Amino acid sequence: MINPTIEAAINDQIKHEFESAYLYLSMSAYFESVNLSGFAHWMRLQYEEETVHAMKLFDYLHDRGGRAVLQAMAQPQSSFNSSLEVFEMALHHEQRVTALINSLYDLAIKENDHATQIHLQWFITEQVEEEKSASDVVEKLKMAGDHPGALFLLNEQLGSRAAE
């Protein structure tokens, strides 16, 4: 049986993962509205990944004899000023999620919950990838500046991203 403190914290993290998914879907909708279908595709895949992350935690709770309790989510931002702004927001968001995962891991250590520590190691590794992925696009957008051709090429590159 899972520790009730850990169970509550994992339920909070499930909410954060679904909020991430919802934010990325909103970002995808924005990119569709400004005819950047490659950017939209990239964000749609992020949405799908975040849903998988939430479900990994959901299933883990049940595997440990706990119960996932879904929580209300706030409406995500839907208006943006630029592609760079969107990806900078995505990077900051991933940094926030990293901090949340690290706090959850610290709690598992404090509560002497070895199984949860092991389970969370996957998330810690995943967050390194998530931050790098968003950071790479931020840097490319900064290099592209206001050059439409560079934005077009980046849109094509992001559109070729495959699901993992």
Binding-site residues from annotation for Fe cation: 17, 50, 53, 94, 127
Contact yes or no for 51/15 (Cβ under 8 A): no
Q: Which residues are annotated as a binding site?
A: 17, 50, 53, 94, 127
Beta carbons within 8 Å of 37's beta carbon, 6+ residues apart: 31, 155, 159
Using DSSP's 3-state secondary structure scheme, residue 73 falls into: coil
- The Cα–Cα gap between 50 and 23 comes to 10
Phi, psi of 158 (to 5 degrees): -65, -30
